Amino acid sequence: MRWWWWIPLALFALFLGVAAYQLTQPKDEFIPSTMIGEPLPEFDLRPAAADRPGLSDAYFRDGTPKLLNIWASWCVPCIAEAPQLERLRQSGAEIVGVAIRDRPQDVAGFLARYGNPYSRIGADDLSEVQLGIGSSGVPETFVIDGQGRIIYQHIGDVRAEHVPLLLEKLREAQD
């Protein structure tokens, strides 16, 4: 009978432990996609910019790994990552863009101001592709292998320190 009285304390100690541990962890609000390792869903998007073709999932199955960049002209961190995307392109990575909920003129304006690293840009007006691959915000960059499988997800804007990592992932996907 005596041990019962210790149950509330034991439960409280458990709570203290978990809370104390969690307080030391950085609060990360990112919701990672659970589609890593899965093939891309079927999609066929109209071109978002006049000078680049549209995008479909079949394009990813040509044997070369690519970077899939989810972005939008109304997204401010995308401005910050534009130079890094350009660096990636110059290092040999092929970057394909999916513009979320964007008008052609806004896309064109953004690309004119900040550069265009994309080989193709699809317009995702209803966030269908975004939902389909488990992306929950902009910007995000995915590494897709040559068979159209999602290998890696980078959440947030691409910064200088992420460039080598993404290139490495692309190389790994090649093999």
Partner 1 sequence: MIAELGLAALWLAAALAALQLVAGFLGARNPDTEMAALVRPAAVVQGLLCAFAFVMLLWLFAVTDLSVKLVATNSHSAKPPIFKLSGAWGNHEGSMLLWITVMALAGGLIAAVERRLPEKTMQATLGAQAFVGLGFYAFLLFSSNPFERLPQPAVEGLGLNPLLQDIGLAFHPPTLYFGYVGLSVAFSFAVGALLTRQVTPEFARAMRPWVLGAWVFLTLGITAGSYWAYYELGWGGWWFWDPVENASLMPWLAATALLHSASVLAARDALRAWTIMLGVVAFSMSMVGTFLVRSGILTSVHAFAVDPERGSFILVLLAIYIGGALVLFATRASSIAEGERFAATSREGALVVNNVMLCAILGVVLMGTLYPLLTEAFDVRVSVGPPYFNPVSAIFVVPMLLVMMVGPLLRWRRDRLERVKAPVALVAAILLGTLAVLLIVSTTGLLPLLGLVLAAALAVASFLPLRGRNLRRLPLAVWGMVIAHFGLAVALFGMASESAFSQEKLAAVAAGDTAEVGPWSVVLDGVHPVAGPNWTALEGQLLASYDGGDPIELDPQARSFWAPVQQTTESALATRWNGQLYAVIGNEAGAGENGARWQLRLWWKPFVTFIWYGGLLVALGGVLALLGRLFDDLKRRRVKARLAERRADEAELAAAGGRG
Partner 2 sequence: MTLLRHLVDVLSPREGGGLGPMATRCWAEAPAFAGARAYLAAFLLAFALCLPAAAQQSLPPAPYAYRQLEDPRQEAAAQALMETLRCLKCQSQSIADSDAPMAGDMRHQVRTRIAAGEEPEAIRAWLVQRYGDYVSYAPAVSETTWPLFAVPALLVLAVLLALWRRLRLRRRA
Calpha distance 161→5 (Å, rounded): 54
Tokens (6 digits) for 70: 């989810």
How many residues form the binding site for partner 1 (CB under 8 A)? Answer: 21
Identify residue 12 by its one-letter amino acid code: F
User: Does 73 engage in binding with partner 2 (CB under 8 A)?
Assistant: yes
User: Does 92 engage in binding with partner 1 (CB under 8 A)?
Assistant: no
User: Does 39 engage in binding with partner 2 (CB under 8 A)?
Assistant: no
Tokens (6 digits) for 170: 């692309």
How many residues form the binding site for partner 2 (CB under 8 A)? Answer: 37
Burial 88-97 (b: 16+ CB within 10 A, else e): bbeeebbbbb
23-42 binders of partner 1 (CB under 8 A): 23-25, 27, 29, 31
CB of 92 to partner 2, least distance (A): 25
Report the first-to-last Cα separation within the chain, whole angstroms.
64
Calpha distance 56→175 (Å, rounded): 23
Q: Which residues bind partner 2 (CB under 8 A)?
A: 27-29, 31-35, 72-77, 80, 101-103, 106, 110, 125-128, 130-134, 136-140, 155-157
Q: Which residues bind partner 1 (CB under 8 A)?
A: 1-2, 5-6, 8-9, 12-13, 15-16, 18-25, 27, 29, 31
